[in-house]
Amino acid sequence: MSYVFWDNQNRITLIHNAPEKLSDDVKEQGLEVNANDIPDREQREGKRAVRYIDPDTGDMWVEYEDRPLTPEEKTQQ
């Protein structure tokens, strides 16, 4: 099991894989999830993968946002 924490836009900001080390106060701020349910992120050129969560249902997904190309990506074009 893991605990996930998110910001006010429901973007996952932290995945904690050792919940036994968390205090009860900290656990109350997150949600316990099965580590296998955390979606993988793909590498996409010019995109940043951002994980999201619906705190009411525990559903998680990935959205891809535009980002500036790295110098290496620019030279490959």
What's this model's pTM, rounded to 2 decimal places? 0.84
Return phi, psi of residue 7, to 5°: -95, -175
> Which 3 state secondary structure label does DSSP give 14?
strand
| pLDDT digit string, tens, across residues 12-71 | 999 999 999 999 999 999 999 999 999 999 999 889 999 999 999 999 999 999 998 888
Q: Where are the domains of the chain?
A: 2-76
- Examine the pLDDT at 77 and tell me if it is beyond 80: no
Tokens describing residue 11? 């973007």
Q: How far is CA 34 from CA 3, 9, 12, 54, in A?
A: 8, 22, 15, 15
